[in-house]
Structure 1
Amino acid sequence: MTTVTTRTVEYQADGLTMIGHLALPAGADRRPAVLIGPEGLGLSDVERRRADALAESGYAALAFDLHGGRYLSDPEEMLARCLPLLADPDRMRAIGLAALDVLRAEPRTDPDRIAAIGYGTGGAIAVELGRHGVDLRAIGTVNGLTTGRPGEAGGIRCPVWAGVGSEDPIMPPAVRAAFTAEMQAAGVDWRLTVYGGALHAFHHPPVDHTVLPGVGHHPRHAERAWRDVVDLLAECLPVKE
Structure 2
Amino acid sequence: MTTVTTRTVEYPADGRTMIGHLALPAGVGRRPAVLVGPEGAGLNDFQRRRADTLAELGYVALAFDINGGHWFSDPEEMLAHALPLLADPDRIRDIGHAALKVLCAEPRTDPDRIAAVGYGTGGAIALELGRDGVDLRAIGTVNALITGRPGEAARIRCPVWAGVGSQDPIMPPAQRDAFTAEMQAAGVDWRLVIYGGALHAFHHPPVEHAVRPGVGYHPRHAQRAWRDVVSLLAECLPMTE
Query: 1:141 is paired with a residue of what secondary structure?
Result: strand
Which whole-Å CA distance do the structure 2 matches of 1:152 and 1:124 have between them? 14
Query: 1:207 is paired with a residue of what secondary structure?
Result: coil
CA-to-partner distance for each residue in 1:149-201, whole Å, 9 max, x for gaps? Answer: 00000110000000000000000000000000000000000000000000000
Query: 2:52 is paired with a residue of what secondary structure?
Result: helix
Which whole-Å CA distance do the structure 2 matches of 1:146 and 1:190 have between them? 14
Paired residue type of 1:198: A
What's the TM-score once normalised by structure 1's chain length? 0.99
Work out whether 1:98 is the aligned partner of 2:89. no
Percent identity over paired residues:
82
Q: What are the equivalent positions in structure 2 for 1:82-231 lying under 5 Å apart? A: 82-231=82-231
Equivalent residue for 1:76? 76
Query: 1:35 is paired with a residue of what secondary structure?
Result: strand
Which whole-Å CA distance do the structure 2 matches of 1:73 and 1:176 have between them? 27
What's the TM-score once normalised by structure 2's chain length? 0.99
Post-superposition offset of 1:43:
0.2
Query: 2:167 is paired with a residue of what secondary structure?
Result: coil
Equivalent residue for 1:238? 238
Query: 1:223 is paired with a residue of what secondary structure?
Result: helix
CA-to-partner distance for each residue in 1:113-138, whole Å, 9 max, x for gaps? Answer: 00000000000100010000000000
Query: 1:197 is paired with a residue of what secondary structure?
Result: coil
Post-superposition offset of 1:24:
0.2
CA-to-partner distance for each residue in 1:17-74, whole Å, 9 max, x for gaps? Answer: 0000000011110000000000111000010000000000000000000100010111
Gaps spanning 5+ residues in structure 1: where?
none
Paired residue type of 2:5: T
Query: 1:127 is paired with a residue of what secondary structure?
Result: helix
Query: 1:103 is paired with a residue of what secondary structure?
Result: helix
Post-superposition offset of 1:239:
1.6
- Number of equivalenced pairs: 241
Post-superposition offset of 1:112:
0.4
Which whole-Å CA distance do the structure 1 matches of 2:185 and 2:214 have between them? 30
Paired residue type of 1:222: A
Equivalent residue for 1:38? 38
Q: What are the equivalent positions in structure 2 for 1:59-70 lying under 5 Å apart? A: 59-70=59-70
Which whole-Å CA distance do the structure 1 matches of 2:145 and 2:92 have between them? 14
Which whole-Å CA distance do the structure 2 matches of 1:229 and 1:179 have between them? 19
Gaps spanning 5+ residues in structure 2: where?
none
Paired residue type of 1:184: Q
CA-to-partner distance for each residue in 1:62-87, whole Å, 9 max, x for gaps? Answer: 00001000101111110011000000
Post-superposition offset of 1:143:
0.3
Post-superposition offset of 1:240:
2.7
